[in-house]
Amino acid sequence: MNLKKQSLIYVIASLGLIATNYVYSLFSHGVSSESMSGMWHYTAIMAIMSGALGLLNHSQSTSQLRLTAFLINCGVAALVSGLLLKGIVEIAGTNSDYIPYFQYSGWALIVSGTILGCYQLLQTKKHH
């Protein structure tokens, strides 16, 4: 995937998450959640990172980055989904034992994708 296009998608996702939080806060009778208010941070950070990688990394083909990007994107989706669920549960005034698993799996996917990307980058540098 083109990293500049991926960056734009993350920006659009960030704006969508901000809008979702705003609309949800309108219908929650003034009750808000820090988790829902901050869930857009992950997508905004990824927009900046993928944009920077797109500017810095011209030599590596997009087919090599496909699995790396997939793992990282799935990790961000798990983190954001977990924060959304945690925010809904907090506003409802209850708790769930499953919410931490979103965080664990999200970070595991991001770390594994990052390690794979670094490995692929080292392999392409080694062969050149």
pTM: 0.83
Residues across the chain:
128
Distance CA 4, CA 14 (A): 15
User: What are the tokens at 27?
Assistant: 């219908």
- The 10s digit of each residue's pLDDT in 13-22 is 999 999 988 8
Q: What is the span of the domain harbouring residue 27?
A: 3-127
Is the separation of the CB atoms in 82 and 121 below 8 Å? no
pLDDT value of position 63: 64
Domain total of the chain: 1
Tell me: the pLDDT tens digits for 100-112?
Answer: 999 999 999 999 9
Kindly tell me the sign of the dihedral angle through the C-alpha atoms of 6, 103, 81, 31: negative
